[in-house]
Amino acid sequence: MEKLVRLYGEHARMEESVFLPLADEILARNANHMAALDIALHLRHAAPPRSSYI
């Protein structure tokens, strides 16, 4: 268990120091990309639209 906790901590630190700054740099190149990511993350939790018949 200690090894798992240590490896997870190392992974989280790497992600915070390397991946997240790189992702921010890439997405900041175009404001539309950041907006698209924002809406995509929001909509993935939204219920699908209901279709109705009249």
Structure tokens belonging to residue 40: 């995509």
Residue carrying the six token digits 């909509």: 43
3-state SS, residue 47: coil
Residue 32 has what pLDDT?
Answer: 83
pLDDT in tens, 1-54: 999 999 999 999 999 999 889 888 888 888 788 788 888 888 888 877 777 776
CB neighbour class for 34 (10 Å; exposed up to 12, middle 13-18, buried from 19): middle
